[in-house]
Amino acid sequence: MDWPTEGERPLVRAGRLSAWAVAGLPDLRPGDDLARLAASALERAGGLRPWDVVVVTHKVVSKEEGQLFPLDHFPPGPEALSLAARLGQDPRMVQAILAESTRVVRAEAGVLVTETHHGLVCANAGVDRSNVGGGEMVTLLPRDPDASARRLRSAWLPLAGGGPLGVVLSDTFGRPFREGAVNVAIGVAGLPALSDHRGLRDALGYELHASTIGSADEIASIGELVMGKVDQLPLAVVRGLSWSGPEQGSAPLLRDPQRDIFRR
């Protein structure tokens, strides 16, 4: 596959894409070796090639890294008790959310949207009760999703002949102005998170001024389409992409609060 030639501007391209979920990964527990277990599953599924992107749901990473807690680990304080009464939620769950947050962005109609320590703005700070033991356990987001993605990429590079190889950690986010949730990238390694087309010209010669595409988010959503939501397939491969430009993790996807009309 040819390397894109748009200079230093980050750009992700696709010709014909293929994507598939990878089966055979066991239910992980804290301390398990996700990189090794997933490598075996990837090999059984046909291995990797240069320019592949592996999409991993954050939950398996969180479990491996010990970000799995009983709700009783979070005794509610006064703020959590007040918010829980207002929102009709479990006070322990609200306390877990507050512990993962730097501030509450919205709290109304049963919805608690916060800004996490990572800078993500999402419902419940990414604290999740699904698929973790009947509702009395919760997973938190990985402490450093970009570092987790880099670690997995390093382990899987030999499977892709030394790369290029991308790894995207994904989570499901709602959107302020749209119905329905989509998978987005919360950790990125090996490829640029944004495709910045500003300064390029379209087919008619018009110079683009505002065309910046969240390519890592789009790749995460492709992964969700093949993994499904309840099928316990936390790993997917997306093939057919190429990219250029610097790697900066997931940080470029985070909008500056001063430019975010939702938070203002």
What tens digit of pLDDT does each residue of 134-189 get? Answer: 678 999 999 999 999 999 999 999 999 998 999 999 999 888 778 888 999 999 99
- Confidence class of residue 210 from pLDDT cuts 50, 70 and 90? low
Same domain, 24 and 49: yes
Q: Residues 59, 73: one domain?
A: no
Is 125 part of any domain? yes
pLDDT number for residue 7: 47
pLDDT tens digit string along 29-47?
888 899 999 999 999 988 9
For residues 148 and 240, state if they share a domain: yes
- Give yes or no: residues 134 and 16 share one domain: no
Residue 40 pLDDT: 93
Alpha-carbon distance values, 210 to 110, 201, 207, 237 (Å) = 35, 12, 10, 30
* Confidence label for 259 from pLDDT (cuts 50, 70 and 90): confident
Q: Could you give the CA distance from residue 181 to residue 63 in angstroms, rounded to a whole number?
A: 22
Are 39 and 61 members of one domain? yes
Mean pLDDT of the chain: 86
> How far is it, in rounded angstroms, from Cα 103 to Cα 92?
17
Q: What is the band of 211 on the pLDDT scale with cuts at 50, 70, 90?
A: low
* Domain co-membership, 132 together with 149: no
Same domain, yes or no: 163 and 182: yes
Per the structure, how many domains does the chain have? 2
- Answer with the one of 138, 167, 189 that is the final residue of a domain: 138
**Are 110 and 155 spatial neighbours (Cβ–Cβ below 8 Å)?**
no
- Indicate if 41 and 79 belong to the same structural domain: no
Q: Can you give the CATH number for the domain in which 94 is found?
A: 3.90.1660.10
* 200 and 218 together in one domain: yes
Residue 2 within a domain: no
Reported as a pLDDT band with limits 50, 70 and 90, residue 1 is very low
Residue 1 resides in a domain: no
H helix or E strand, kind and range, residue 195: strand 195-196
Residue 201 sits in a domain whose CATH number is 3.30.1330.100
Strand order of the β-sheet with 178-189 is: 11-21, 235-244, 52-57, 165-175, 178-189
Length of the chain: 264
Residue 3 lies in a domain: no
CB within 8 Å of 198: residues ≥ 6 apart: 9, 208, 209, 210, 211, 212
201 and 189 co-located in one domain? yes
Could you tell me if 167 and 152 lie in one domain? yes
Q: Which domain holds residue 246?
A: 11-67+142-259
Instruction: Report the amino acid identity of residue 199.
Output: G
The answer, as to whether pTM is greater than 0.75, is yes
At residue 177, the pLDDT reads 79
